[in-house]
Structure 1
Amino acid sequence: MSELKDLMKKKLGFGCMRLPVLDGEQDRIDDQTFCEMIDSYMEQGFQYFDTAYPYHKEQSEEAVRRCLVERYDRDRFFLADKMPVWLVKSETDYEPIFQRQLERCGVDYFDFYLLHALDKDRILTIEANGGFEFAKKIKADGRAKHIGFSFHDSADVLDETLSRHPEIEFVQLQINYYDWESDIVQSRKCYETAVKYGIPVIVMEPVKGGTLANLIGRSAEVLKELDEQASFASYAIRFAASLDQVMLVLSGMSTKEQLADNTSYMKDFVPLSDKEKHAIVRVREELDKLPTIPCTSCQYCVDGCPKKIVIPDVFSAYNMSVQFGVNAISRGKYHDAVTDHGKASDCIRCGKCEGHCPQHLPIRDLLVDAARTFEQL
């Protein structure tokens, strides 16, 4: 499928999940700034925009219509959208949802269309209710030029799915240098599975939600020693773009400054040098040295918690604060972990969680650390 990769003159895609907003409200897109960012992006030869049904509380698709579709000829850009498979209850739901997306975006076809956020359970569900058949149908009738899916599960599940569905033309994977050897995200293993099937890869989360743009301590010094002027984000995006099977790297850009930085090094993309690759390995090693909680996210501790604390998610936010600092990103991750669930400080020290932990972690004491970090106790 090299012809699909050849479509991409530039390897940087504009992710429309973190658009500029007004007054911090995610459903109020700053159209003026978005238009200016689109103009700058397009003027430099970039073409690919990625949106989805739920982004910005279902406002991203309409912002794309206002700021992109109504201002540029349709053949000037590639537009990707995604089927929210979690909303589908039966095979008759696909068509009305898809039609709504076409209308929201103001187009009569998508260049790239994905089944959104697949994992093992969702794959089994949509295989049963006709999701893959719907994707083939809209490709056959021209309403989707290319079909694929975005994926969040193990490499084994990806392998099984691609073997059953040769109609899939590309996959969207979470790839970044931090998660490259992760047992949970499995960036490298998933990428290698795509290579095995000759499937082009679109990369999402190359900067891991912004965390790799906010290095601190020795990991930051390693990259600054290479180039004092280069942004930390540039190494993360170029790491993903340097992979042979990657046809595009998405970046969710919220400001004109982020756009200017990304386009500055992706306009005339140069793959990472051996020296830069070695430095990134050192950054990973420095991050691994930090005293993070060795939680494997097995979830065994969660079910019996009387305060309904999602302990692995709290620990994930804490680990992020250790490696990247207590900032808006790590605080946001903690907020997400405790929304509709117990806070770290809600722990009553009953010890049920520790009895279930295969890693024998002192969970009660670690929750005190997390509360002190994020709740300012």
Structure 2
Amino acid sequence: MKKPEKKLGFGFMRLPLLDAKNQTSIDVAQVEQMVDRFLERGFTYCDTAWMYHDFKSEETVGKALVDRHPRDAFTIATKMPDMMLKSKEQVPEIFAKQKEKLHVDAFDYYLVHDMNHVNYEKAKKYGAIDFLREKRKSGEIRCLGFSFHDTPEVLDRILEENPFFEFVQLQINYLDWESAGIQSHKCYDVATKHGLPVIVMEPVKGGTLANPPQNVKEMLHEAHPDWSPAEWAIRFAASLENVMVVLSGMSDLAQLDENTGFMQDFTPLTEADQALLLQAAEKIRAGIAIPCTGCRYCVEASKCPKNILIPNYFALFNTRKLMKRRDFSPEIEYYENYLSQGYGKASDCIACKSCERVCPQHIHISEWMPKLAENMENGQGF
């Protein structure tokens, strides 16, 4: 598989808007400027998907990129929305429509979108994986992979059962790297074990790491006064040896100028810089709601009678609170993944406190469970 020469990818999922309340009101003129600058600086990887911007992203990429530049000047990646499938007939229909919207005869990279243990079964049930394998053989897909949101165990199973996949897209950033909920490091290790290159999504965690707490900003500024917090975050992901591309959902020309500027002649972080970012992650976690360290005593030593995955849920809840999420979010998706695997809900807690008796952080877990249930199960924001 030919890899992009530069590690920064343009994610077409947070494009500039003419009306902030309307995801379809894309500022195409500014997107054209962004595309031109991106390609002028030697970057090539462009990522979109069926449902981005209320189904308008692919169409915008077709107009702003494909219609205006030679086909060999860029690479296109898009995705089969397995989570939305309801019949086998939808698969070829969606694939054909994507070619039409993007104005291409073949996709350089094509992904099964958002694979987790539930969507993986849907992709198999409706024949999406088999269909896409045939398109890979015919040349309409030049490289086949999938994006992933689930545990390392599920990732390992998918790759064991489907050794033909050529790359995997993972959520990786320095805050999630050792997170008990997202488990970025462990998922990265699984992909590496299987010999697959990794494409990184959410390197700045939806913008959270572009504006970390003040004490973290000061620490990072002292080490590299000329680096922004977002630059630190993107550099962390790009420094991982097995990472092929780091996607950035750039929202205006200024963001694109900044990111392409420091990624144009990219050099990996030093060990000292990497260690500093992991310290920064600890400081961020220290300021969040529940001071859980993910030691897992509460699930492994206490034998929760309701099989509640306490540290994983705490990690997801802390992230939602940190980002002030109000609606459905990746954290809720991860939470629902765990529930569908048979783990208990936060609302199942009977306050037996067996977990609290072994918690080295002395967290009042039974008092937090109703709050988690309200937020993660009933969609209450912060």
Query: Could you say which TM-score interval applies, normalised by the shorter chain?
Result: 0.7 to 0.9
**Separation in 1, partners of 2:347, 2:78:** 44
Contact 1:354 1:362 in 2 (8 A): no
- Aligned mate of 2:277, from 275, 280, 284: 280
1:154 and 1:266 mapped to 2: Cα distance? 30
TM-superposed deviation, 1:274? 1.9
Alignment coverage as a number of residue pairs: 335
**Is the Cα–Cα contact under 8 Å of residues 8 and 247 in structure 1 kept in the other structure?**
yes
Q: What TM-score comes out, normalization by structure 2 length?
A: 0.81
Q: 1:133 to 1:285 in 2, by over 3 A?
A: same
Rounded Cα–Cα distance in structure 2 between residues aligned with 1:145 and 1:33: 29
Q: Within 5 Å, which residues of 2 pair with 1:159-238?
A: 159-238=156-235
Q: Which residue is 1:270 aligned to?
A: 267
The equivalent residue for 2:336 is: none
Match of 1:325 in 2: none
Which letter does structure 1 place at the counterpart of 2:206? G
Aligned match of 1:307 = none
Partner of 2:142: 145
Distance 1:51 1:86 in 2: 16
- 8 Å CA contact retained: 2:16, 2:252: yes
Which residue does 2:326 correspond to in 1? 334
List 4+ stretches of structure 1 deviating above 6 A.
Answer: 311-314, 351-354, 364-369
Higher mean C-alpha displacement, 96-105 vs 278-287: 278-287
What is the Cα deviation at residue 89 of structure 1? 2.2
What SS class does the counterpart of residue 250 from structure 1 fall into?
A: strand
Structure 2 unaligned segments of length 5 or more: list them.
300-304, 307-312, 330-345, 356-364
Aligned equivalent of 2:236? 239
TM-score when normalising by structure 1: 0.82
Give the drift of 1:86: 2.1
**1:72 corresponds to which residue?**
69
Percent of aligned positions that are identical: 42
Q: Aligned equivalents of 2:371 and 2:83: distance in 1?
A: 37
Match of residue 18 from structure 1: 14
- Report the CA distance shift for 1:89/1:363 in structure 2 as closer, same or farther (over 3 A): closer
Q: Give the drift of 1:316.
A: 4.2
Q: Distance in 2 between matches of 1:197 and 1:92?
A: 32
Structural mapping, 1:87-98, within 5 Å: 87-98=84-95
Aligned partners of 1:145, 1:135: CA distance in 2, in Å? 11
> Considering only aligned residues, what root-mean-square deviation do their CA atoms show, in Å?
2.9
Q: Secondary structure at the match of 1:79?
A: strand
Q: Where in structure 2 are the equivalents of 1:94-133 lying within 5 Å?
A: 94-133=91-130
User: What 5-or-longer segments of structure 1 have no aligned partner?
Assistant: 302-310, 321-329, 338-350
Task: Answer yes or no: is the 8 Å Cα contact 2:66–2:103 preserved in 1.
Answer: yes
Single out whichever of 223-232 and 185-194 deviates more from structure 2.
223-232
Distance of 1:21 and 1:319 partners within structure 2: 26
TM-superposed deviation, 1:313: 11
**Inter-partner Cα distance in structure 2 for 1:94 and 1:367:** 36
> Are residues 291 and 126 of structure 1, via their aligned partners in 2, closer, same or farther at CA, if it must alter by over 3 Å?
closer
Q: Aligned in 2, Cα 1:354/1:227: closer, same or farther, shift over 3 Å?
A: same
What amino acid is the match of 2:18?
Answer: L
Quote the residue 2:321 is aligned against: 319
Alignment equivalent of 1:44, drawn from 12, 28, 41: 41
Q: What is the rounded CA distance, in whole Å, between the counterparts of 1:268 and 1:363 in structure 2?
A: 47
Counterpart CA distance in 1 for 2:88 and 2:374 is 48
Residue 128 of structure 1, CA deviation: 2.9
Give the conservation status (yes or no) of the 8 Å contact 2:85–2:122.
no
Q: Post-superposition shift, 1:126?
A: 1.8
Matched, 1:135 2:127: no
